[in-house]
Structure 1
Amino acid sequence: MTPFTVPVEGLTTDVHLPDGDGPFPAVLIRTPYDRRRHRAELRGWARRGFAALVQDVRGRHASPGQWHPYDNETADGAATARWIRRQPWSNGQLVAAGASYAAHCALTLALDAPTDARPDAVIAAVPALGPAETAREPSGVERLLARAGWWAAHGDRPDSDEDALDKALAADPGLLAHLPLTGLPERLGRSLPSWPGLWRHRAHGRLLSQAEQAGMPLLAVGGHHDHFAEDTVALWRRWGGPSARLLLGPWGHGLVAEPGADADPAHRVRLGELYTGWATRALTGELTPGHGGAVGLGGSTLWTTADTEGQPRTHPLRLLHGASFTADPERPVSSADLTVPTDGPPDRCLLVTPPLPRPLDLVGRVEVGLRAAADTPSADWALRLLALTPEGVAQRLAVGIVRREEPPGGQAEFTVGLGRLARRLPAGTRLRLEIAGHHFPAHARNPHTGGDPVTATRMVTSRREVDAGSVALRLPVLGSRPTPTDPVQEILR
């Protein structure tokens, strides 16, 4: 059947129906990223017997109204779901699907909407759980570069300019270093009234808490190199529906279209076929109850089951330099550059492990315990773990950052989580751990005055002392080689 476009509750929606008389189950994608990008995806769903719909959210592209990120999605999604179920071609069954912000739309429909509007199954890929989760680390540190890029591209405008921040940085490489950060819209040369309000969102976990009462199956999909990887895993773990599946590969935010350096051809997955196959089984009640799925082990050809988890093991570290260093906001450690300066005073504490005597399989959370002090009332501690291959190539493995507010000069003992790893490291690999005061521009610079990094107009240096002997790198090591599995079979089980 020829696709058609209709206003659904005033919002522009493309509909693609399968051949035949129906009625059909439906899949709904609500997106701020232009519904026209999903036309091939709609055809794929329709070929497999689904009525496929994609909608521009309120105020974006062809849909009228004002665009207020995260504000209208529950009500608009519920109205659309009810409209779908009233159509003669609908059999009443509905799958809510989406990636990134579109996954947020699917999740709010599943968890916030009235019961009669909720979908029967949810596909959430690289999910943006909410404004607080996207803008800040769990420790409260601001994710500056990612949010500046998103707001420059999509914020407070009906269309998108994906390269807006890159173009602005080309014209002014110091763009993100200007103070205060609330002045970014002026330097971009456009109105962004929602930008300051973004940083007032601090409460994490609302959707995760509601996920425990979910009443439908979930397929959560993510990448190890995606900044929402931990949120994806947490959503899967806490989902209370009859079944939950996790697919996690060595990919970035673009999933299979954005493989990491550690990805192998064996980690390629036909996501379209997998989504439709899973949705069919979810709607017919054929999925095995409980949590399951598959995780791809980067640096290998392996997939292993989603419940595979290594045991924490502490690895010895040797101090190279920087037990005392200076965190200078005017010369912050770069989040983009893996090289370490060899001249001038240290700007980070640097430690390394001996070469690995044998290959190491890591699956699970990485943590570092340490004892350290800062001479300022507020201090960020940014830790970066790299693999130094036997060939001498530095590869980023994990990053963690926390904000500490303590009496100046007093030593404190604390732990920094560096996220999750699913990686095989070959024999001869050395691990390099960096402890710094900044990770810029990925994260906003702490001004060290106790002031808010978003509104600060003054910054001071911070002298740091690390008790190198206290630093404990805890890695999630598998005691034996993981048993290989087929990711498609695990998802469809």
Structure 2
Amino acid sequence: MRCADGVRLAARLWRPPGSGPWPALLMRQPYGSALASTITYAHPRWYAERGFLVVVQDVRGRGESEGTFGGFAQEAADGAETVRWVRHLPECNGRLGTYGFSYQGLTQLLNAGDPRAAEASFPDALAPAMCGLDERLDWASEGGAHWWALGLGWALQLAAQGARRRDDLQAWQALRRSLETGDYLLEGFALLERHDPEGMGLAWLRANPRDPAGWRVHTPSPVLLRRPLLLIGGWHDPHLRGVLDLWRRARAAGGEPALRIGAWSHLQWRGGVDRHQLAFFQRHLGVAAPPGGHGEEPEEGAARDIAPGAIGLQDATTGAWFTEAPAPGGAGPRWHLASDGRAAIQREEGRLCRDAGGPVGPVVLVHDPWRPVPGRGGHLGGESRLLDRADLDARGDVACFTSAPLERSQRLVGWPVVRLGVEADQPGFDLCAALSAVSAEGEAALQLCTGVLRVVGREARRPLERILRLQPLAATLRAGERLRLSLAPAAWPQVAVNGGDGEEPRGGPAARQREITLTLLLDSARLEITPLWSPLSDGAPPDVAAN
């Protein structure tokens, strides 16, 4: 297709058997249309065989499309033009849905079409997965800290694609080698400055993650948010906060979004969405069985799961799917933190107590930048899944607070939130949290979710209450298991190492970084699981607002 400014955007089409026209499914992505996000979805041919015309477009400046790639800023205008173009293809019957995850998820929601002419430029149904509207909170940072390994890795991937497009093979090889060897964690920022100085990823890493000024928050039309929506997220995916924010925004606009959150990471879905996505588009676009194709009726369970307003959540430890009514009020379970001061040096000493009244420390943690506590797993890790962290909990710079053995199994669903007083002896510190299930034998600690809080500046030295919100979870602890909260002063390389000098951290261990002593004040310290549907105050998570 040719845009209004003359730039040509390339696309690939997969047609159903027989003669059309057919309802269309559109994906707009920056990685090459031949890939078609098959790392997480069935190939477009699978959808075509079931009666859909599938269109996968290279966005501006990527793949075979013309123009210069400008990231999300370019997608609203191009998205509206593309929807109108697909609707008028001779193979399309005028009905159109969109799908895709990550970048491809947000392109569905960026649409500059006139809401008064929504039938022309807005999709009839959308299935955005693992994305969000706030570039600061949903794409680049958490708790006031940049996503370091994750953000750098993605920015370097985009930079390498740009180098390939320019036929700069030397730059491509340098970027690729850095990612393969792991050197990107230390040299990636400089590589971006050299090979993609105007890139979106570098701009994010240069910006202040604790200040919303200068960051873009996209605002889809309420008309678009009232369209049929299937929102897809994963407990181990960094964009889950964005998915839940989209769910809240769509409901506030008067929509009835369906929501499915699996025990998935960003790239590992275990074939978990195609049947449900097919049923969703069959429901809202209509499709007849094509001659020689596979136009089967949607599975009864899948059709029920994607009905307007339906909610499906997968327990991360048992794998079972369940539903939960969206009730934002009410209080979840709460534990008080107790220790005589040895919670870091003696792993079993610190306690999570259902009732207050235990010893209240304080507990002192010392951060040594020469050997920062590693980040492992969680939604920001390379291994984004449940894994054992017992060896990390045995370190002397990790404070552990463990509950009594459970008398019966208990499912935890919601946002884990930690509130405690913290002061540092330097003008900057990080506090990194992990929640885990300790086996009945006490040998293993299965990490369920993680979170981070970064404080930079004079406030770090003051004994203030800090609020740290972890990644949401749905997980069941069995009878005999214990819940553990672990607190550490680093999670390298998931977040950069805090130098303790009041400057923005942008890298790993360095010679001039300072040792940081953290004092954890337990007088009113507590862990609580707040409802999954709780709104974020003032559009910013409490972990940032508390800085």
TM-score by length of 1: 0.81
Q: 2:439 maps to what in 1? A: 389
Cα distance in 2 for residues equivalent to 1:292 and 1:373: 44
In the alignment, the residues of structure 2 paired with residue 348 and residue 311 of structure 1 have an alpha-carbon distance, to the nearest angstrom, of 28
- Cα deviation for residue 98 of structure 1 reads 0.8
> Match of 1:491?
none
Aligned with 2:373 (options 294, 315, 333)? 333
In structure 2, the residue corresponding to 1:340 is in which secondary structure? helix
Structure 2 CA distance, aligned partners of 1:376 and 1:101?
38
> Paired residue for 2:360?
none
Residues in 1 aligned to 2:66 and 2:373: alpha-carbon distance in whole angstroms: 44
1:413 aligns with 2:465: yes
Shift of 1:349: 2.5
Following the alignment from structure 2 to structure 1, what is the Cα–Cα distance between the partners of residues 404 and 172? 43
Determine whether 1:448 maps to 2:492: no
Deviation, 1:63, is 2.0
Change (3 A) 1:97 1:170: closer
Q: Write out aligned runs for 1:57-456 (5 A).
A: 57-109=59-111, 115=118, 116-129=120-133, 131-155=135-159, 157-158=161-162, 167-168=177-178, 171=181, 175-177=184-186, 182-185=189-192, 190-191=195-196, 193-194=198-199, 195-200=201-206, 203=212, 206-207=217-218, 214-239=225-250, 240=253, 242-257=255-270, 269=272, 271-283=273-285, 291-307=309-325, 311-319=331-339, 320-322=342-344, 323-336=363-376, 338=389, 339-340=391-392, 346-391=396-441, 392-404=443-455, 405-407=457-459, 409-454=461-506
Structure 2 Cα separation of the partners of residues 126 and 448 of structure 1: 33
Counterpart secondary structure, 2:281: helix
Letter in 2 for 1:296: Q
Q: Give 1:130 shift.
A: 5.3
Structure 1: gaps spanning 5 or more residues: 1-5, 258-267, 479-493
Question: What residue is the counterpart of 1:481 in the other structure?
Answer: none
Q: 1:244 is matched by which residue type in structure 2? A: P
Q: Quote the Cα distance in structure 2 between the aligned partners of 1:453 and 1:41.
A: 41
- 2: CA distance, partners of 1:134 / 1:408: 25
* CA–CA separation in structure 1 for the residues paired with 2:175 and 2:66: 26
Give the C-alpha shift of residue 220 in structure 1: 0.5
1:136-163 Cα shifts (integer Å, max 9, x gaps): 3353210011111112222362459999
**Any idea what SS the aligned residue of 1:468 has?**
strand
Deviation at 1:394, TM superposition (A): 2.0
AA aligned to 1:223 is: G
2-side partners of 1:126 and 1:283: how far apart?
A: 23
Distance 1:133 1:477 in 2: 19
Q: What residue identity is the alignment partner of 1:183?
A: A
Q: How many residues align?
A: 455
Look up the equivalent residue of 1:250 and give its one-letter code.
A
- Aligned-pair CA distance for 1:127: 1.6
How many Å apart are 1:321 and its aligned residue? 2.5
1:257-300 CA distances to partner (integer Å, 9 max, x unpaired)?
3xxxxxxxxxx64x222212101212369999853221111222
Cα contact 1:15–1:51 (8 A) shared by 2: yes
Q: Secondary structure at the match of 2:505?
A: coil
Partners in 2 of 1:163 and 1:415 — Cα distance?
A: 43
Q: Percent identity?
A: 28
Normalised to the residue count of structure 2, the TM-score between the two structures is 0.74
Deviates more, 1:448-457 or 1:367-376: 448-457
Equivalent pair of 1:376/1:407 in contact (CA under 8 Å) = no
Corresponding position of 2:295: none
1:64 Cα deviation after fit: 2.7
Which runs of 5 or more residues in structure 2 are unaligned? 166-170, 288-302, 345-362, 378-388, 533-547
Question: Which residue type is aligned with residue 343 of structure 2?
Answer: H
Structure 1 Cα separation of the partners of residues 483 and 400 of structure 2: 11
Judged with a 3 Å threshold, the aligned counterparts in structure 2 of structure 1 residues 78 and 432 are, in CA distance, closer, same or farther, namely same
| SS of equivalent residue, structure 2 residue 190 | helix
Conserved in 2, the CA contact under 8 Å of 1:316 and 1:353? Answer: no
Q: As a proportion of its length, which structure holds more strand? A: 1
Offset at residue 383 of structure 1 (A): 1.4
1:28-47 matches, within 5 Å, as 28-38=26-36, 41-47=43-49
Q: Distance in 2 between matches of 1:284 and 1:342?
A: 57
Contact 2:410–2:478 (CA under 8 A) maintained in structure 1 = yes
- 1:228-275: CA deviations, max 9, x gaps? 112112211221354200011111112423xxxxxxxxxx64x22221
CA deviations 1:370-397 (Å, max 9, x no partner) are 1121122232222122222225222211
Deviation at 1:30, TM superposition (A): 0.7
